[in-house]
């Protein structure tokens, strides 16, 4: 699969080490939290980050029956599981799309925030076993959806987040870098999508609002 223009073909960031020693502040709080059993599907088409993220969240919560192509078919009202469905360009199924609508359609959208989230909110969601998702606006144009599935604090107090990316794979990066330099300087975290085990009725996702951001 060719690298799409809206993604930066950079090498993944190195994975920093974490520590199980005492808290840098001297407290008893844990130094890491992660979503046990969460995994991210690789997006099956170059613009299907939204489908891969939504299906991965659904599978984490135990909602079966969804695949990337069936979700795309329901969202786009096209036959996206046929041989030619996903590859017909912007007039077909392989297109940039929203994330709030498909997350709602699989039954797990809690709410959308038109902002990045601070590290304490990351900790709260992961510790509650609730993956949440982020929209990254690329500095060079376009955007991308990922999921956040873990956090950690190293011995000197640096705060890290675990990013499950349907295109680049797993990346652990400082929270501060994820805010405005995910892959390169200027890549900004613009929106957050909170999930819940039981949200909207599965299969009944609403149409995106006029304010909903797309992946591109």
**How would residue 202 be classed by pLDDT, with cut points 50, 70 and 90?**
low
Residue 208 has pLDDT above 70, yes or no: no
Q: What is the pLDDT of residues 17-68, one digit of tens each?
A: 333 333 444 455 559 999 999 999 999 999 999 999 999 999 999 998 899 9
Query: What percent of the chain has a predicted confidence (pLDDT) above 70?
Result: 74
Residue 198's pLDDT band (cuts 50, 70, 90): confident
pLDDT score of 14 = 37
Lowest mean pLDDT among 113-117, 167-171, 198-202: 198-202
> What is the mean pLDDT of the segment spanning 62-89?
82
Q: What predicted TM-score, i.e. pTM, was given to this entire model?
A: 0.81
Tokens of 157: 């107090």
Q: Which two tokens stand for residue 94?
A: 């392989």
Number of other residues whose CB lies within 10 A of the CB of residue 68: 26
Q: Is the pLDDT of residue 1 over 80?
A: no
- For 145-177, the pLDDT digits (tens) are 999 999 999 999 999 999 999 999 999 999 999
Q: Which residues contact 186 (CB under 8 A, 6 or more apart)?
A: 139, 180
In this prediction, residue 120 carries a pLDDT of 96
Walk me through the domains of the chain, giving residue ranges and CATH numbers: 32-195 (3.90.70.10)
Judge whether residue 6 has pLDDT over 80.
no
pLDDT given at position 82? 78
Mean pLDDT across the chain, nearest whole number? 82
């Amino acid at each position: 699969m060719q690298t799409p223009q809206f993604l930066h073909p950079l090498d993944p960031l190195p994975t920093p080490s974490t520590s199980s020693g005492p808290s840098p502040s001297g407290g008893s709080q844990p130094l890491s939290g992660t979503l046990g059993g969460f995994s991210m599907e690789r997006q099956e088409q170059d613009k299907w980050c939204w489908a891969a993220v939504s299906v991965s969240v659904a599978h984490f919560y135990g909602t079966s029956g969804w695949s990337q192509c069936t979700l795309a078919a329901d969202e786009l009202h096209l036959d996206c599981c046929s041989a030619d469905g996903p590859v017909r360009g912007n007039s077909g199924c392989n297109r940039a799309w929203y994330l709030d609508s498909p997350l709602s359609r699989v039954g797990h959208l809690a709410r959308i925030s038109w902002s990045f989230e601070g590290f304490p909110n990351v900790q709260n969601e992961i510790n509650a076993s609730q993956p949440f998702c982020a929209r990254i606006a690329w500095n060079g144009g376009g955007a991308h959806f990922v999921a956040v599935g873990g956090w950690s604090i190293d011995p000197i107090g640096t705060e890290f987040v675990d990013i499950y990316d349907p295109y680049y794979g797993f990346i652990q990066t400082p929270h501060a870098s994820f805010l405005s330099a995910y892959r390169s300087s200027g890549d900004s975290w613009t929106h957050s999508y909170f999930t819940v085990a039981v949200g909207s009725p599965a299969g009944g996702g609403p149409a995106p609002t006029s304010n909903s951001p797309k992946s591109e």
